Amino acid sequence: MSAHKPLSIATINFKGGVGKTTVTWCLGVVLQEYRNTYTLMFDLDAQMSLTETIDLNQRKSEYGIILEDGRLKYIDPYIVNRARAIKEQNTLYHALKQYSIGSNQGILDLLNYGVFRIQKRLYFVPSTEELYWAEFEIGQRHKGFISDLMDELSHHPSMPKFGVALFDCPPSFSVLSYSVLLYCDIILVPVNPDMFASRGVGIFLSALKRRIAPDPLPKVVVFMNKTKTYDSMPTSESRAYMRDGDRLCRRLREEESIDVWFLSHAYIPDRAAIKRSLPSGSFPKELEQPFIRLWNSLLEIANG
């Protein structure tokens, strides 16, 4: 058992483009800026959207020196450490691969060299594209990987005491998402205001439940992202989709015994400024209140 378990939240929806990566990023920044919480953020998606954007916004300078053979050697510490971690295979993929043959050494190497402090209280574990092939090479049944990784982390001398762990999951079922589902406290599902959202979430949650049975699904929280607003309030169309979402969650609770909640009051509006937040490594001030409301609702459900 871990000495200290951070509140762990996996952002998942099998529908692409709903805002999983953006919401994970914004929550990480809100937690460290407004809640003084040490947060560990994982990119588990082989598409590497979060990783590639963080790699860009962490690059403090293009400063490098030209070697005799004409190659450019970067001396920016983030770039150097990232490049070293990849070269020396201190990545999630290699940790998982070693774990699959019974060794925790890969997890220790990842914790020593492959976790990056990207803001004062925000730490990051990048993805690698090799995760695409993990299913074929490693197989699906490595249930304990994330739990053992987090356990090692809680004892690691150079890691802070994380209050929260956020996992940005791919829009498909992967060996890593399986392991995260068994570990996390909350599955966070962003949906967009469109007519397929409720149906899609119903199918996806029933499938997840069957997929990890006999293990139970953790609590599930569904909320609307990219909510259309008028005069700072959801439009009547967005409200209608929220009611659909709420009805769906009630049905899933009653008929499928899934512990799922729809957040009718903690939605994230559709705002162009959010598109610039991740690429610039920042957070749009105008979305501070919606994200704080989202966080408070998550805490209430986690503790309730």
Ligand X SMILES: Nc1ncnc2c1ncn2[C@@H]1O[C@H](COP(=O)(O)OP(=O)(O)OP(=O)(O)O)[C@@H](O)[C@H]1O
Contacting positions for Mg ion (CB under 5 A): 20-21, 49
In whole angstroms, give the CA distance from residue 271 to residue 103.
Answer: 45
Q: Nearer to ligand X by C-beta: 63 or 196?
A: 196
Residue 275 interacts, among Mg ion, ligand X, none and using kind-specific CB cut-offs from 5 to 8 Å, with ligand X
Contact segment (CB under 6 A) with ligand X among 120-128, 145-153, 250-258, 263-271 equals 263-271
Where on the phi/psi map is residue 3: left (φ > 0), alpha (ψ -120 to 50), or beta? alpha
Rg of the chain over CA atoms, in angstroms?
20
* Cα–Cα nearest to 39, from 181, 153, 165, 206: 165
Residue 22 interacts, among ligand X, Mg ion, none and using kind-specific CB cut-offs from 5 to 8 Å, with ligand X
In whole angstroms, give the CA distance from residue 233 to residue 237.
Answer: 11
Among 55, 135, 256, 270, binds ligand X (CB under 6 A): 270
By CB under 6 A, residue 17 contacts ligand X: yes
Q: How far is the CB of 271 from ligand X (least distance, A)?
A: 5
Contact segment (CB under 6 A) with ligand X among 10-18, 208-216, 234-242, 256-264 equals 10-18
Handedness of CA 92, 97, 99, 100 (dihedral sign): positive
Residue 82 interacts, among ligand X, Mg ion, none and using kind-specific CB cut-offs from 5 to 8 Å, with none
Q: How far is the CB of 255 from Mg ion (least distance, A)?
A: 30
Six-digit token pair at 23?
Answer: 């919401």
Burial of 239 (0-12, 13-18, 19+ CB in 10 A): middle
Q: How far is the CB of 250 from Mg ion (least distance, A)?
A: 28
| Interface size with ligand X, residues (CB under 6 A) | 18
Q: Nearer to ligand X by C-beta: 24 or 58?
A: 24
By CB under 6 A, residue 268 contacts ligand X: yes
Q: Tokens 């730490």 correspond to what residue? A: 123
By CB under 6 A, residue 271 contacts ligand X: yes
By CB under 6 A, residue 210 contacts ligand X: no
How does DSSP assign 29-76, residue by residue? HHHHHHS---EEEEE--TT-HHHHHHHHHH-----EEE-TTS-EEE--
User: Binding marks (x or -) toward ligand X, 22..61, rule CB under 6 A?
Assistant: x----------------------x-x-x------------
Q: What are phi and psi of 9, to 5 degrees?
A: -125, 125
For the chain, helix, strand, coil in percent to 5 are: 50, 15, 35
Residue ranges in contact with ligand X by CB under 6 A: 16-22, 45, 47, 49, 171, 225-226, 268, 270-271, 274-275
